[in-house]
């Protein structure tokens, strides 16, 4: 974690289910009670996804719990939220998503100098054999690291 960045919620499953091709940092248009609730760590992007519509990027299915002291000013927990990106980035995202098999997946939500940011990835879904291959590769790396540690421990 870099200085000045506080991770609020993360989609760990995304790296398992998708090949990440590119990532973008996007601001989020939030209401007052939403940012207060996010700062308390009450956000969830597990089922969230993004789409490019009418020249803007919209985030769907992100759940932000209602703020406890918000009473009548509270928001709808699953409302559609606008992501703030430059026009050139939006055009790049739109071109990438129009290709077969690509989608926009949020990876994490974090604070940078008090502003909520979302790390958005252009991703392609993994097949079952890709996941198995990744697991086998990870297990092989663990075995190699374990063998190296054991070898270093042995007296000479």
* pLDDT of 28: 93
Q: Quote the pTM value.
A: 0.76
Confidence of residue 156 (pLDDT cuts 50, 70, 90): low
Question: With the CA atoms of 140, 141, 143 and 146 taken in that order, what torsion angle do they form, in degrees rounded to the nearest 10?
Answer: 180
pLDDT average, residue stretch 108-115:
91
DSSP symbol at 99: S
The CATH classification number of 5-125 equals 2.40.280.10
pLDDT average, residue stretch 128-154:
88
Confidence of residue 16 (pLDDT cuts 50, 70, 90): confident
Q: Using alpha carbons, select from 121, 107, 122 the residue that is nearest to residue 8.
A: 107
Distance CA(39)–CA(111), nearest Å, equals 8
Distance CA(105)–CA(119), nearest Å, equals 9
CB 111 within 8 A of CB 3: no
Confidence of residue 34 (pLDDT cuts 50, 70, 90): confident
Reduced DSSP (H G I as helix, E B as strand, rest coil) percent helix, strand, coil of the chain, to 5: 35, 35, 30
Least confident stretch, 80-94, 106-120, 124-138: 124-138
pLDDT average, residue stretch 65-81:
81
Least confident stretch, 36-45, 68-77, 83-92, 144-153: 68-77
Q: Is 125 helix (H, G, I), strand (E, B) or coil?
A: strand
Q: Using alpha carbons, select from 57, 61, 16 the residue that is nearest to residue 43.
A: 61
Q: Hey, where are the domains in the chain?
A: 5-125, 126-156
pLDDT at 132 over 80: yes
């Amino acid at each position: 974690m870099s200085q000045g960045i506080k991770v609020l919620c993360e989609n760990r499953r995304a790296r398992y289910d998708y090949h990440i091709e590119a990532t973008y940092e996007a601001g989020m248009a939030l209401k007052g009670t939403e940012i207060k609730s996010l700062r308390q760590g009450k956000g969830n992007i597990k089922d969230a996804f993004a789409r490019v519509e009418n020249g803007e990027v919209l985030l769907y299915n992100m759940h932000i719990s209602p703020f406890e002291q918000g009473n009548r000013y509270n928001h709808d927990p699953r409302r559609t939220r606008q992501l703030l990106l430059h026009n050139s980035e939006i055009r790049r995202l739109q071109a990438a998503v129009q290709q077969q098999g690509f989608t926009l997946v949020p990876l994490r939500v974090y604070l940078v100098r008090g502003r909520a940011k979302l790390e958005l990835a252009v991703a392609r879904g993994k097949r079952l054999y890709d996941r198995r291959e990744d697991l086998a590769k990870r297990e092989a790396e663990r075995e190699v690291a374990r063998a190296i540690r054991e070898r270093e421990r042995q007296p000479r």
